[in-house]
Amino acid sequence: MDVTTILLLLLVGALVTYFSGDKLASKVALVFSLGTMAVTLYLLNSSAQLSDLSFYANWIDAPKVALAFKADGLSLAMVLLTTALTPLIIFSSFGNSFNNSKNFYALVLFMAFAMTGTFLAADGLLYYIFWELALIPIYFIALIWGNGDAEDRKKAVVKFFIYTLAGSLFMLIGFAYLYTKADSFLLEDLYKLNLSATEQCYIFFAFFLAYAIKIPIIPFHTWQAKVYQKAPTVGTMLLSGIMLKMGLYSVIRWQLPIAPLAAKTYMPVLIGLSIAGVIYGSIVALRQKDLKKLLAYSSLAHVGLIAAGCYTLTIDGLRGAVLQMIAHGFVIVGLFFAAEIIYRRYETRTIAEMGGIRAQTPRFTSMFMILVLASVALPGTFNFVGEFTVLYSLIQINIWFVILGGTTIILGGYYMLKMFQNTMLGETNTKVFADVTTNEAITLVVIIGFLLFFGLYPKPIVDLVTPSLHQILETINR
Amino acid sequence: MNTLIAISGLGVFCLIAEIFNLRKLLVPVTILGLLVILGLTISEFNTPELFNNPMYNNMIVVSKFSVAFSSLFIILTIFLVALSGDFYKEHLTKISDFIAIKIFLLAGAVAMISFGNLSMFFLGIEVLSISLYILAGSKRLDLKSNEAGMKYFLMGSFASGIILFGICLIYGAMTSFDVEYIKSLSRSAELPIWYTIGVILLLIGMLFKIAAVPFHFWAPDVYEGSPSMTTATMSTLAKVVAMATLFKLLDVLNADIDYKFQIVLAIVSVLSMTVGNIMALRQNNVKRMLAFSGISHAGFMLMALLSMATAASTLLYYTAAYALAGIASFAVIIYVTRDKENEDIVNFNGLGKTNPLMAAILTASLLSMAGIPIFSGFFAKFILFTQTITTGYLVVVIAAVINSIISVGYYFKLILAMYTKEAAEDKKAVPFVYHAVAVVAILLNIVIGIYPSLVMNLLN
């Protein structure tokens, strides 16, 4: 068994979901996503026993493109993030009803397929194809099942699509150029290339456009908040939980090792931009009145810090970034789900219209509290491990980066707790807030359990990703 | 040569069929005939020299190149004929004329792609063009169709005149119409100035036929005014034929050796893409929009000619991808607008709800034209970009990428209308043939997208 099993299972799952009809679709999708999670865990286990999981087959002769999938610790960690979050996201949507749900869930599984492919591909063009494929399902999910005024939504979603497509087309030129040099798209061959400093700069910035828009790094973030707000919660979770990580993962896997000289030359600028995103995101989040938008900006701040970690080019920075990617993936899905739980009862996302929920449902309030605290990286949660490692790596570069980047914790604590206060505490709300259902509770408990478990015992994930990150670092410092 | 004879025979049969009152059977029989001819053509692929008959004074030269493109033309014609059956059902008395003209158009196309003599080339282009003039004006009682036919005829015959003038000058320089002879002679260093002038005139005429900027002004009006079926023919078959012929001409005339010529080609290519795309953004009529989109695609295809050595297979792939997506989208467009007064985008509102399959097919074909993987349009563009970068025209590639981004804007306008607007009318039945043509065309598109080697390896 190799990693293609995961991909095939997701693709078949998408098809079966489509043909299973509207009533059964959500359950079929859940079964398939749980199946892929099981397969991923099985593969993780067998990778620990050093069996080779990668896959290679020729696909196109001219230009030479191969179906090459590589499964090292880094890829597997990201695949695990995808396959673990997909069932959670699908399960979290059980309280909603969608028109045409067979299309909806098929698109969700198809998107998981494309994202898993992006994390596994070891051939430049194959990687690019998966990268683009992931864009189509989220476009339709946000467009058709999104909320708010149709015209507004359309504008936001089209902007998102054109932005990301524009960025990735420059990446495509980068790959085409690399191909003329290496005569191959394979990752190993591209790593071996000896590019001059100027060439590296061009390649680096062609890739940077694609990733900076996807992550997003300031000043390419303008699509983000609107799309998060307008997309259905499932779409927002997919976007913020997994899709953003495609950009960050690609920085580590493709951008840095292929053009290390450029990365070193521009390191201060890149870290500076990322940190600027942290501060900007935090400050804007302070002023948000819409719960989903607030979470969107907090997400901007957090991924800014992750990006900064990637660009430090130290083992701590890379490791911290990967840990924080996984932690952020879970916590942001949990937070958006909490927002959805409130929306299901109050039909509003405006913070001012909430408040006084605690007295009615202490259970939900405590779970929400834990998520909020995890999001501000309280020690004991997984997010603390990631964020701390990143900050530690930044100290090795320049103390000022840490001081500025550390504001994410201070400001984050401020706006998140203020949000918690305004939504949950205060005088008991006159509107009835029904207690969380079992389904909702299960989703939240799983997320919280994951965050606390790995917060106290991060070793399995650290051990999984560290060897492959060392390898990548060797390539960077070759 | 056999292909050409068989096609002409089929055309004559279509005309005679009217006398024997076989109108109802005409479309299936013609498709069957075309399939047989397709098989015949493909059988010539591996041993083209066997079928080269010196008896005809080298008028027609069968090569892998000509066989591959002829097969593509025949496949496209099969789709177009299949659609015609339903499209012309209100003019059943004239159907054999319409079908026969399409078959003769195909004969012209095959002559154009496999000429061995410039006079044969001119004969081909005239047969093709005159068929198109007739088809453009074929909605006799419609003012717009008349206007389109007239405009196309005036402009087109002017371009033909220029082409003919160019051929004469080339003859003056070379003392022969024979392609092989011209090719060998054109490599000699000292050519009279009128050879160059002739080549330029020929090029201008061909650029007119493929509607490249600045010779594109006829396209939007003619596309909009012509009956949808004719627009489909023009934007798929005719464009692909003209493009392939242009490649063959440049190859024969060795025009590409001159650096200045390459620069001109690059500029025309970038201009076509940019003007086509920017104008397309502003259109509300789908046919007009596709006319401008066709202009921009002509720009992309011209880009392939910047690297002549590898252009043949790239061009075959690009044209196949583009034409198949075009056929699929026109099958949907014709179905949606067949009893409407115009082809405005509002007619597509809510198609995603009333007819999900057709909407999905149109979406897929537009995504292919925009160059999104896994559709073949993506590989077409990608292979084109790689090839052009290798030749050293990075700037042109960057312009092309920016244009690809712009093009998403208008392709998505149509997709948005289908999925976000409310439908004005209820679901209506789709005749089987529209489904069949659209599904087969888009599947072929996806298949060559997943296995690009199928097409790419043909001409290597």
Write the DSSP string, A333-398.
Answer: HHHHHHHHHHHHHH---BGGG----TTT-HHHHHHHHHHHHHHTT-TTSHHHHHHHHHHHHHHHH-
Query: How many other C-beta atoms can be found within 10 angstroms of the C-beta atom of residue A421?
Result: 12
User: Residue A68 forms beta bridges with which residues?
Assistant: A56
One-letter amino acid for residue B127 of the chain: V
Instruction: Please judge whether A173 and B401 are an interchain contact, meaning their C-beta atoms are less than 8 angstroms apart.
Output: yes
Considering Cα of B232, then B236, then B239, then B242, what sign does the dihedral take? negative
Query: How many other C-beta atoms can be found within 10 angstroms of the C-beta atom of residue B99?
Result: 28
Instruction: Please judge whether B420 and A154 are an interchain contact, meaning their C-beta atoms are less than 8 angstroms apart.
Output: yes
A144 in contact with B at a CB cutoff of 8 Å?
A: yes
The DSSP letter of residue A62 is T
Residue spans per domain, chain B? 271-460
Interval A86-100: pLDDT, tens: 999 999 888 777 888
Mean pLDDT of A455-470: 90
Residue A357 and residue A417: Cα distance in Å, rounded?
15
What does the angle CA B414 – CA B319 – CA B1 come to, to the nearest 5 degrees?
140
**Chain A residues near residue B404 by CB distance under 8 angstroms:** 169
Mean pLDDT of B61-80: 93
Residue A159 and residue A228: Cα distance in Å, rounded?
13
User: What pLDDT shows up at residue B194?
Assistant: 87
Instruction: Please judge whether A169 and B394 are an interchain contact, meaning their C-beta atoms are less than 8 angstroms apart.
Output: no
Mean pLDDT of B69-74: 94
String of DSSP letters for B39-108: HHHHHTSS-GGGG--GGGTTSB---HHHHHHHHHHHHHHHHHHHHHHHHTGGGGGGHHHHHHHHHHHHHH
Instruction: Please judge whether B457 and A62 are an interchain contact, meaning their C-beta atoms are less than 8 angstroms apart.
Output: yes
**Chain B residues near residue A170 by CB distance under 8 angstroms:** 401
Chain A, nearest residue to B389 by Cα = A177
What's the gap in Å between the CA of B457 and the closest CA on chain A? 8
Residue B375 near residue B446 (C-beta atoms within 8 A): yes
Which of B267, B361, B346 minimizes the C-alpha distance to B305?
B267
Instruction: Please judge whether A177 and B389 are an interchain contact, meaning their C-beta atoms are less than 8 angstroms apart.
Output: yes
Residue A320 and residue A389: Cα distance in Å, rounded?
5
Interval A219-254: pLDDT, tens: 888 888 888 888 898 999 999 989 999 999 999 999
Instruction: Please judge whether A60 and B456 are an interchain contact, meaning their C-beta atoms are less than 8 angstroms apart.
Output: yes
Residue A298 and residue A335: Cα distance in Å, rounded?
11
Choose the closest CB to A169 out of B401, B416, B453: B401
Give the pLDDT band of residue A50 (cuts 50, 70, 90).
Answer: low
**Chain B residues near residue A128 by CB distance under 8 angstroms:** 373
One-letter amino acid for residue A96 of the chain: N
A199 in contact with B at a CB cutoff of 8 Å?
A: no
pLDDT at B113 over 70: yes
Interval A296-343: pLDDT, tens: 999 998 999 999 999 988 899 999 999 999 999 999 999 999 999 888
Give the pLDDT band of residue A357 (cuts 50, 70, 90).
Answer: confident
Mean pLDDT of B39-60: 80
Chain A, nearest residue to B380 by Cα = A63
Chain B, nearest residue to A153 by Cα = B420
User: What pLDDT shows up at residue A212?
Assistant: 92
Evaluate whether residue A173 is within a structural domain.
no
pLDDT at B307 over 90: no
pLDDT averaged over every residue in chain B: 89
Choose the closest CB to B412 out of A161, A169, A179: A161
The DSSP letter of residue A56 is E
Q: Which two tokens stand for residue B219?
A: 């396209």
Mean pLDDT of B22-35: 89
Give the pLDDT band of residue B156 (cuts 50, 70, 90).
Answer: very high
**A277: domain range?**
269-478
What's the gap in Å between the CA of B27 and the closest CA on chain A? 35
Residue B72 and residue B40: Cα distance in Å, rounded?
13
Evaluate whether residue A62 is within a structural domain.
no
What's the gap in Å between the CA of B396 and the closest CA on chain A? 11
Residue whose pair of structure tokens reads 């071996």 in the numeric block? A192
Residue A220 near residue A212 (C-beta atoms within 8 A): yes
Choose the closest CB to A173 out of B352, B378, B398: B398
Instruction: Please judge whether B394 and A179 are an interchain contact, meaning their C-beta atoms are less than 8 angstroms apart.
Output: no
pLDDT at A358 over 90: no
Look at residue B291 and give its three-state secondary structure. Answer: helix
Instruction: Please judge whether B389 and A180 are an interchain contact, meaning their C-beta atoms are less than 8 angstroms apart.
Output: yes
**Chain B residues near residue A162 by CB distance under 8 angstroms:** 405, 408-409
Interval B267-283: pLDDT, tens: 999 999 999 999 999 89
Q: Provide, rounded to the nearest whole percent, the portion of chain B with pLDDT above 90.
A: 53
A94 in contact with B at a CB cutoff of 8 Å?
A: no
Mean pLDDT of A23-45: 89
**Chain B residues near residue A140 by CB distance under 8 angstroms:** 419
pLDDT averaged over every residue in chain A: 88
Give the pLDDT band of residue B260 (cuts 50, 70, 90).
Answer: confident
Query: What length does chain A have?
Result: 478
Choose the closest CB to A180 out of B386, B409, B416: B386
Chain A, nearest residue to B370 by Cα = A165
Instruction: Please judge whether B382 and A172 are an interchain contact, meaning their C-beta atoms are less than 8 angstroms apart.
Output: yes
User: What pLDDT shows up at residue B54?
Assistant: 67
User: What pLDDT shows up at residue A110?
Assistant: 93
Give the pLDDT band of residue A112 (cuts 50, 70, 90).
Answer: very high
Instruction: Please judge whether A162 and B383 are an interchain contact, meaning their C-beta atoms are less than 8 angstroms apart.
Output: no
Instruction: Please judge whether A169 and B367 are an interchain contact, meaning their C-beta atoms are less than 8 angstroms apart.
Output: no
Interval A64-78: pLDDT, tens: 888 889 888 889 899
Q: Which residues contact B144 (CB under 8 A, 6 or more apart)?
A: B224, B225
Give the pLDDT band of residue B46 (cuts 50, 70, 90).
Answer: confident
**Chain A residues near residue B379 by CB distance under 8 angstroms:** 60
Chain B, nearest residue to A136 by Cα = B372
Instruction: Please judge whether B453 and A61 are an interchain contact, meaning their C-beta atoms are less than 8 angstroms apart.
Output: yes
The DSSP letter of residue A426 is S
Helix (H) or strand (E) holding B202: helix B193-209
Query: How many other C-beta atoms can be found within 10 angstroms of the C-beta atom of residue A108?
Result: 28
Choose the closest CB to A60 out of B373, B394, B453: B453
Q: Pick the residue with more confidence: B254 or A267?
A: A267
User: What pLDDT shows up at residue A434?
Assistant: 81
**Chain A residues near residue B451 by CB distance under 8 angstroms:** 60
Helices and strands (H and E) in chain A: how many: 23, 2
A343 in contact with B at a CB cutoff of 8 Å?
A: no
Lowest mean pLDDT among A78-92, A416-430, B307-321, B357-371: A416-430
Interval A155-198: pLDDT, tens: 888 889 988 988 888 899 899 889 988 888 888 888 888 888 89
**Chain A residues near residue B382 by CB distance under 8 angstroms:** 63, 125, 172, 176
Q: Pick the residue with more confidence: A1 or A205?
A: A205
Give the pLDDT band of residue B255 (cuts 50, 70, 90).
Answer: low
Look at residue B1 and give its three-state secondary structure. Answer: coil
The residue among B313, B314, B351, B382 with the most chain A CBs within 10 A of its CB, best to mutate, is: B382
pLDDT at B368 over 80: yes
Chain B, nearest residue to A152 by Cα = B420
The count of domains in chain A is 1
The residue among B412, B448, B459 with the most chain A CBs within 10 A of its CB, best to mutate, is: B412
Residue B423 and residue B420: Cα distance in Å, rounded?
9
User: What pLDDT shows up at residue A329?
Assistant: 92
pLDDT at B86 over 90: no
Residue B25 and residue B33: Cα distance in Å, rounded?
12
pLDDT at B297 over 80: yes
Interval B198-252: pLDDT, tens: 989 999 999 999 999 889 999 999 999 999 999 999 999 999 999 999 999 988 8
Give the pLDDT band of residue A153 (cuts 50, 70, 90).
Answer: confident
pLDDT at A8 over 80: yes
Q: Pick the residue with more confidence: B53 or B58?
A: B58
Which of B269, B327, B324 minimizes the C-alpha distance to B298?
B269
Cis peptide bond upstream of B374, omega within 30? yes
Instruction: Please judge whether A180 and B404 are an interchain contact, meaning their C-beta atoms are less than 8 angstroms apart.
Output: no
A133 in contact with B at a CB cutoff of 8 Å?
A: yes
Which of A288, A292, A293, A304 minimizes the C-alpha distance to A336?
A292
A403 in contact with B at a CB cutoff of 8 Å?
A: no
**Chain A residues near residue B390 by CB distance under 8 angstroms:** 180
Helix (H) or strand (E) holding A55: strand A55-60
User: What pLDDT shows up at residue A328?
Assistant: 92
Q: What share of chain A is helix, strand, coil (3-state, %, to 5)?
A: 80, 5, 20
pLDDT at B107 over 70: yes
User: What pLDDT shows up at residue B256?
Assistant: 63
String of DSSP letters for B110-130: HHHHSBSBHHHHHHHHHHHHH
pLDDT at B53 over 70: no
Chain B residues with CB within 8 Å of chain A CB: 352, 367, 372-374, 378-379, 382-383, 385-386, 389-390, 394, 397-398, 401, 404-405, 408-409, 412, 416, 419-420, 451-453, 456-457, 460
Residue A178 and residue A166: Cα distance in Å, rounded?
19
Instruction: Please judge whether A62 and B397 are an interchain contact, meaning their C-beta atoms are less than 8 angstroms apart.
Output: no
